[in-house]
Chains A and B, each alone.
Chain A
Amino acid sequence: MTPVIAISKDTIREMTKRKLILAIVIAGILTAILFLIFSGIVGIISQKLVHSMLQGRSVSQEEIKILTQEVNQKGFGTLVTFFSIAIDLLGIFLVLLTFSTFLPTEIDRGTIKLIISKPVSRLEVVLGKFLAGTIVLLSYSILMGVMLILGSIYLNGKVDYSDIYGCILMFCKLLMMGSITMAMSMMMRPILASVVTFFLSGDIFVWVATIFYSSKPLYYIFVALYYILPSYSIFEVHNIKNLFLSLFVKIPPLTSGDIFYKAGYSMDIILIMLAITVILFNKKDLIQ
């Protein structure tokens, strides 16, 4: 276990020195802070509008909903949505940038030679790198989760469990993408691995299948691809963007059952992808 932890620690240390990664993390934090600020602005404006519209009458949920829609129409909703998408996208960039380069970088610059000359197995190298990525993603998800919870408390006055569930799902999705890009990086250049991972989702094939609905063999092939390939869309239903909107409009709350099902699905994909990575890395000549 020691080599796994040592590799993991070293990888995190190296990540903190990479300017592009630091830029993404800083952008994530700034986005989250802006997220909170805009949450506050939305809250204040909503309250003022409620007072001016209802003129001292007691406020019902329906009236808040109407008011929120008005606020959205005035442009704040667009900004809020933009920020929430930005957090999600930054997470994806972070994953693709890190997981796709973990192993190829060690090989390309030749540093893997000294690691492998120590009593370290190739499995431990893969696990060490993956653990590092997991810790970074977990930190990112927790940070964003805290920001969401603070925003939720500020606007609703209570913790919405959907916020916590949403962050768990974001973490699961990002980790799943990380494991896919790590496996892909064993077969192609990191940049290509990132692009393939981004577009690999089986979700695309649902749309393609509908186009070929009349041509049954193709339709079934695309439907099969939807089920075979990993799906990112199941994590999108209650992602950060929707969670934020849930502060204004009523969305059916996530249940712990949803989380278990979706987390289980991602763990499935992660284990398969890790196994593929280990098999490919084991067969690989570790020179440029």
Chain B
Amino acid sequence: MKLAIETDNLTKTYGNPKNLDSVKAVQGLTMEVPSGAVFGFLGPNGAGKTTTIYLLLGILKPTSGKGKLLGRPLGDPRGKGKLGFLPESVNLHLHHTGISLLNYYGELLNINPVRRKERIHEVLEQVGLKESGNKFITTYSKGMVQRLGIAQALLNEPDLLILDEPTANLDPIGRKEVKDLLINIREAGKTIFISSHILSDVESLCDRVCILKGGKIIRAGTMEELNTNKGVIEIRTKNLPEEAGQKITGLGAEIETKSDENLILIKNKEQEFGIIEIIRQFECPLISISEQKNTLEEIFYTAVKGENP
């Protein structure tokens, strides 16, 4: 399996590790992000997410441990040619216009002038800033700065995209557009490493998730591995007579009725067949049978707080 990111016992301590007031931001982080994966990097505030991203990019120096980014050691500039990065707070050089800033980053990325010009127009169109490209960044709104930040991250058609809170500062329409953009990038087989507080976005985009707390990984795996069953079976039916309902509740199941549709919740799996038999006896239609899964929000809360929301 080809890896886009790998870390081995990566540790970052702010301040002198021997001092009591030092802060262990990341502690022995070992993780692997396969190429082509969409990796959700979650955790409460102060969990060490941004510090980890800065370590991956070489913005911070690790206290100990090592890692690789696109096959190159952390901090090696040669590993960043096909990398796109969007920081949590997008700080840009304010003396530029949108186009001149992208041109500057294009030069740093060593994109040839002709291709650079094409790409600048492509990415500005992708993020909806085509009309504002010639305006100075000082005139941009927060949302526009965020979009420009995304544009610079996409400029070099990256194989690996590291995004720290990509939908922050965006209105609902902007969030939807960015999500759609990321879906397109995912479909192109690129690797996306996304750190976000908006769990619904992560849930719909990511195929792997890692939850960080106190600088340590507390849960990690594919969405399938993490989406554990709640142990509750849902049976949907229609027009359930009162007598049938009494029989079903008598077996210990719960019934929720909305208009003519009935949702039967079974906590004891052994009762499943008995309840289905009752539904058949009363000739009610069996719409669906499914097992209730934990949402990412529930998984996150359970992992971080050790309790349900």
Contacts and interface: CB of A to CB of B under 8 A. Distances in A.
Interface of A: 2-3, 5-7, 9-10, 13-14, 17, 109-121, 124, 283-287
B44 interface: no
B24 interface: no
Interface in B68-121: 77-81, 83, 85, 87, 89, 91-93, 95, 104-105, 107-110
Contact of A6 (B80, B92, B104): B104
B152 interface: yes
Given A14-B93, A14-B95, A120-B108, A287 B59 contact: yes
Contacts of B77: 118-121, 124
Nearest to A124: B77
Contact of A119 (B93, B104, B110): B110
22 contacts: A2-B108, A2-B110, A3-B107, A3-B110, A14-B95, A110-B89, A110-B91, A111-B91, A114-B85, A114-B87, A115-B108, A117-B57, A117-B87, A118-B105, A118-B108, A118-B109, A119-B80, A119-B81, A119-B109, A119-B110, A285-B61, A287-B60
B59 A2 contact: no
Give the secondary structure class of A's interface. Answer: helix
B147 to A, nearest CB: 15
Contact of A2 (B54, B79, B92, B107): B107
Nearest to B51: A287
Contacts of B89: 110
A286 B89 CA distance: 15
A119 B108 contact: yes
B109 A116 contact: no
Nearest to A10: B104
B54 A287 contact: yes
A19 to B, nearest CB: 12
Interface of B: 54, 57-61, 77-81, 83, 85, 87, 89, 91-93, 95, 104-105, 107-110, 152, 162
Contacts, number: 78
Contacts of A5: 107
A17 B95 CA distance: 7
Given A119-B78, A121-B77, A113 B87 contact: yes
A13 B95 CA distance: 8
Most A CB atoms within 10 A — which of B58, B83, B108, B110?
B108
The 7 closest A-B pairs by CB, nearest first: A110-B91, A6-B107, A117-B85, A118-B108, A17-B95, A119-B77, A119-B80
A114 B80 CA distance: 11
Nearest to B56: A117
Given A14-B93, A118-B77, A283-B61, 9 more contacts: A6-B104, A10-B104, A110-B87, A113-B87, A116-B58, A116-B59, A118-B105, A121-B77, A286-B60
B101 to A, nearest CB: 9
Nearest to B14: A285
Contact of A285 (B59, B93, B162): B59
Contacts of B162: 117
Most B CB atoms within 10 A — which of A3, A113, A117?
A117
Contacts of B61: 283-285
B83 A113 contact: no
A6 B104 CA distance: 7
Contacts of B107: 2-3, 5-6, 9
Contacts of B92: 111, 114
Nearest to B149: A114
Nearest to B85: A117
Nearest to A2: B110
A10 B107 CA distance: 11
B194 to A, nearest CB: 15
A10 B93 contact: yes
Given A2-B110, A10-B104, A118 B91 contact: no
A110 B164 CA distance: 14
B83 to A, nearest CB: 7
Contacts of A113: 54, 57, 59, 85, 87, 91
Nearest to B109: A118
B99 to A, nearest CB: 14
B196 to A, nearest CB: 18
Contacts of B80: 117-120
A203 B21 CA distance: 42
Contacts of B95: 13-14, 17
Most B CB atoms within 10 A — which of A3, A110, A116, A283?
A116
A111 to B, nearest CB: 5
A111 B108 contact: no
A117 B83 contact: yes
